[in-house]
Amino acid sequence: MSTQGHEDELRSERSYVAGLYTRLDAERARVKGEYSAALRGRDGTAMDREFHARALAKEVKRLDVADNGLCFGRLDALSGEHSYIGRIGLFDEENEFEPVLLDWRAPASRAFYVATAATPESMRRRRQFHTRGRHVVDFTDEVLGRPDGDEGGDAALLAAVNAPRGAGMGDIVATIQAEQDEIIRLDHPGVLVIEGGPGTGKTVVALHRVAYLLYTQRERMERQGVLVVGPNPAFLNHIGRVLPSLGETNVVFTTAGDLVPGLRVTAEDTPEAARLKGSLKILDMLTAAVADRQRLPEDPLPIELSDVTVRIDAETAQWAREEARASKLPHNDARAVFSEILTFALTERAIARIGRGWLTRADREAWEQLRENLLEELADHDAFTAALDALWPILTPEKLLAQLYSSPERLRAAGADEVLSRADGEAWTVSDVPLLDELVDLLGRDKPADQTAERERKAEAAYATAVLDNMVGREDMMDDEDHLFATDLLYAEDLADRFLERDTRELAERAAADRDWTYRHVVVDEAQELSEMDWRVLMRRCPGKSFTVVGDLAQRRSAAGATSWDTMMTPYVPNRWIYRSLTVNYRTPAEIMTVAAALLAEFAPGVQPPESVRACGVQPWSRHVTEDELATAIEEFVQNEAGREGTSVVIGPPGVPGTVMASETKGLEFDAVLVVEPERIIADGPRGAAELYVALTRATQRLGVLHQAPLPQALTGLTETGTPVLAGNQRSA
């Protein structure tokens, strides 16, 4: 294309994209107008009005997020037709079936991501726009359908991966690559495991897959929402803007430590304790711990009634316990069976003693009256209630587990290893979360409290319904001269709605606060860190077993984490999980990946490192420092990077001031990374080499290493320098 031809095309594209924004603005104004009218409207019931307003509010949000990068490309077919690809779909104002902009998730958009010179997908050309705000700055064309086709389409990708990193992860709708697109659009109803080394885009592919599923299965997905589980809050904050930028908000972001609402994780387990808690073998300990709280009295417990004293002996309690356990009900629910058997035994004994000499079973009326009196007395009898609490207490997961951890006697009774013992039973760890979640099912609810709340709710709802029925009845009985004010009916309707517990919170807020909420789809990132018990919790959260699982076994840190995907998946979804891999590294430049790959070959020799898509022109460096020089060297790096665009981080072993641990940077990326004392990172636990591998692969441009002891063998290829500042001043190519 000549220069003049390029300028003419550019003006034409600018005009078309400007027209798309005009269409977007008009659509947004229309929807906002309908939203305002819905808020003021009086048609239909209050619930109908609220449902309509919520739907319009979601549409407003969808249109708002499309403002940034609305249209990013064009496809020209061999037939001569061309289509524009963008963040959302827009249709012609006069012909609502004629798209003027295709949603990137639509089937017709797929060729934009997968067409190549060798397999053009019936396309002649792919055009990618370079935009700033609403303005098209330039475009790049890639000619398809011939082996020597122009590879200029890589320009958009390289521009994206070379750009300075911001505060959070961005979407990749404009630069999705073929191997990523295949996974994003994969039609599989079960569990999809995506494995890839550092920088392969596992996370962003998983999030775009969620956006794709929400687009293609919106009605089913939106009713239950999506759960995204990440390794730490910093990671969730980093990825949190991707789905909203794609117009999707019915998503709950959480860590494995937050899966039990209201629980605060404040401590960390030893590797031995974490391994034990993460194993399915811990289920036997939990069952035994619950059974241990179902006690028999060492000595008979006297229950003094008005006319007689009866006793709960071990034999009677044993009978009651066997019946309660045989019911197969959760512990707290089975207390009612336990109580019923005890009550029967005690009343029978009391009646026999009170009626000795004058009462027989033939005198049925007197017998039943006496039983009724005794039952009423036992129902409010403090000593009987105390006996129940001692022999079959109502338990909460937190109470049972805290008392178990802090009592060597209870640990022994449950057959638990002493590594679980701790002074503060309520110093919860991430590994405690699946145990507490399991105990919810083993114990059941606190029934007395639940039943009281349910009775109150039903009474309030019945009252509200009666008010509404009464007012409607009044309207039916009125003659022409009488009338019932509309405000009366509205008051009654609102009253009934309120007492019927309509929850006005957004789906994500409701789901996050509800342990029993089940999701349509679950995304698990850094999945190699999850234990067998963690997976048990997550499978419970998604009965349909629809998962997108991403991870890298080579980066596993947790002692209880996955050593193979088959071990974790097969118990829950045999024959319903599939595996895909990502092989191209879009984050880490070749110079840095060479260093990381040497380390990978030492601790995971069978794992193939991902191939970097680019080089940056800056060699990673190392510098030997003394203990006195370390703090100054770290400060020099920080000050040097502060003058640059982008982000940086200092990663070190535990206890080094001014550094963060590698585990806190999982899933994150930075323009520049300084790794401090790699030899100590390796020495810090059995997975220390994997931790160092994570640290080395966070950088997108520049990597430096400070060491006091000799460098680990795998890092001896680093360029040794006398000062990190000089190395940091090198500019990337």
Residue 470 has pLDDT above 70, yes or no: no
- Which tops the pLDDT comparison, 363 or 19? 19
The answer to whether residue 500 scores a pLDDT higher than 60 is no
CA distance 186 to 199: 21
- Tell me the average pLDDT across 99-122: 91
717 pLDDT tier (thresholds 50, 70, 90): confident
209 pLDDT above the threshold of 90: yes
Mean pLDDT computed over 3-29: 94
Report the pLDDT value the prediction gives residue 167, as an integer from 0 to 100: 61
Instruction: Report how far apart the first and last C-alpha atoms of the chain are (Å, whole number).
Output: 28
Model pLDDT, residue 499: 45
- Return the closest-CA partner of residue 391 out of 471, 334, 308: 334
What average pLDDT does the segment 320-336 reach? 97
CB 497 within 8 A of CB 510: no
Task: Read off the pLDDT of each residue in 204-213 and give the average, rounded to a whole number.
Answer: 93
**201-229 burial code (b ≥16 CB/10 A, e <16):** bbbbbbbbbbbbbbbeeeeebbebbbbbb
> Which of 514, 65, 505 lies closest to 250 in space, CA to CA?
505
Position 168 scores a pLDDT of: 67
User: What is the structure's pLDDT at 66?
Assistant: 85
pLDDT tens track for 611-631: 998 899 999 999 999 999 999
Phi/psi of residue 197, each to 5°? -70, -175
Specify the 3-state DSSP secondary structure of 215.
helix
Confirm if 136 and 130 have CB atoms less than 8 A apart: yes
Report whether pLDDT(148) > 60.
no
Q: What average pLDDT score do residues 169-197 get?
A: 89
Q: Residue 79 in 3-state DSSP? A: coil
Among the residue ranges 79-93, 657-671, 717-731, the one predicted with the least confidence is 717-731
Query: What is the chain's mean pLDDT, rounded?
Result: 87
Looking at the predicted structure, is the pLDDT value of residue 240 above 80?
yes
In this prediction, residue 732 carries a pLDDT of 34
Structure tokens at 219: 């009605």
Q: Is the pLDDT of residue 469 over 60?
A: no
What is the C-alpha to C-alpha distance for residues 494 and 730, in angstroms, rounded to an integer?
Answer: 68
Residue 15 has pLDDT above 90, yes or no: yes
Return the amino acid letter for 454.
E
Q: What is the DSSP letter of 300?
A: P
CA 142, 143, 147, 148 torsion: positive or negative? negative
pLDDT in tens, 342-353: 999 999 899 888
Query: What integer pLDDT is reported at residue 428 of this predicted model?
Result: 97
The pLDDT score that the predictor gives to residue 728 is: 42
* pTM of structure: 0.81
Flag whether pLDDT at 730 surpasses 80: no
Task: Kindly state the tokens that stand for 127.
Answer: 């055009």
Rounded distance, CA 71 to CA 103, Å? 9
pLDDT at residue 176 tops 60: yes
- Residue 465 confidence class, pLDDT cut points 50, 70, 90: low
For residue 726, pLDDT beyond 60:
no
Q: Read off the pLDDT of each residue in 640-646 and give the average, rounded to a whole number.
A: 91
The least confident of 32-36, 205-209, 431-435 is 32-36
**Which pLDDT value is given to residue 485?**
44
- DSSP alpha helices (H): ranges in 355-396? 364-379, 382-391
Query: Stretch 514-533: mean pLDDT, rounded?
Result: 95
pLDDT category at 158 given cuts 50, 70, 90 is low
